[in-house]
Amino acid sequence: MADVAGQLAGIPLFSGLLRAQYEALSRIGVSRSFRKGERIFSEGDEGTGFYVVCGGRIKIFKVSTEGKEQILHLCGPGESFGEVSVFTGQGFPADAVAALPSTVLFFPRVAFSSLIRQDPALALNMMAQLSMRLRQFAGLIEDLSLKEVPGRLAKYLLYLSGRDGKGTVNLDVSKGQLAALLGTIPETLSRILAKLNRRGLIRLRGAQIRILDRRGLEEIALEGKRLP
């Protein structure tokens, strides 16, 4: 906790700033902790500032009137969320809940806004961050509308295996949550996992999945190939 300014340097949103800037940031940032399942904000809440994840995982999601949820993003350490409301001035566009015990830094809107006004470099970082998010969203939209669930799942498994660099991946969220991330429901996810298992593409062992046929998964992810 001593060197908050030092921690900030490791966050993409704030990379490449000067020492004095980190100190200014650390003066306006407030640390907050949340228990698993605790809510950070709800859709429509007034956006009084934005957050950066220090530890844990924050789930950003939308809920339909019938209660089904679509996860927009799972924010891990170093990632920021809620920035949109800083600029639009409208309420938060989605809900945020801690998917794990989490610690975040909160940056109040007005204080941060005036910082940006003085500091083009900070603004550029922020724009890059927003752009990246935009790109991710474009990808998610593409997946949701152009691929079927097996394709989205295959893509996610490959993503996890690439991130961890291993042939065995650990699901970092419950399968129900994974279903919400993929835009489907637990039953469907379960069936498709079972099918991939039977086909020999993966080996299922609870929350551990070993990738057996990477090429096959890639075909499904790219072409939405059938699995009869």
Q: Name the binder of 192 from DNA, a copy of itself, none, CB < 5-8 A by kind.
A: DNA
Which residues are 211's β-sheet partners? Answer: 202
| 22 token code pair | 């980190």
Q: Name the binder of 149 from a copy of itself, DNA, none, CB < 5-8 A by kind.
A: DNA
Residues that bind DNA (CB under 7 A): 66, 68, 148-150, 174-176, 183-194, 204, 206, 226-228
Q: H helices of 31-185, where?
A: 83-88, 109-118, 120-146, 149-164, 175-181
Which phi-psi region, left, alpha or beta, contains residue 82 (left: φ > 0; alpha: ψ -120 to 50)? left
- Tell me the C-alpha distance between 184 and 209, whole Å: 19
Which phi-psi region, left, alpha or beta, contains residue 16 (left: φ > 0; alpha: ψ -120 to 50)? left
Shortest approach of a copy of itself to residue 24 CB, angstroms?
Answer: 15
Query: Count of residues binding a copy of itself (CB under 8 A)?
Result: 48
DSSP state of 46: B
Q: Name the binder of 203 from a copy of itself, DNA, none, CB < 5-8 A by kind.
A: none
The 14-53 site mask, x for binding a copy of itself (CB under 8 A), equals: ----------------------------------------
CB closer to a copy of itself, 128 vs 194: 128
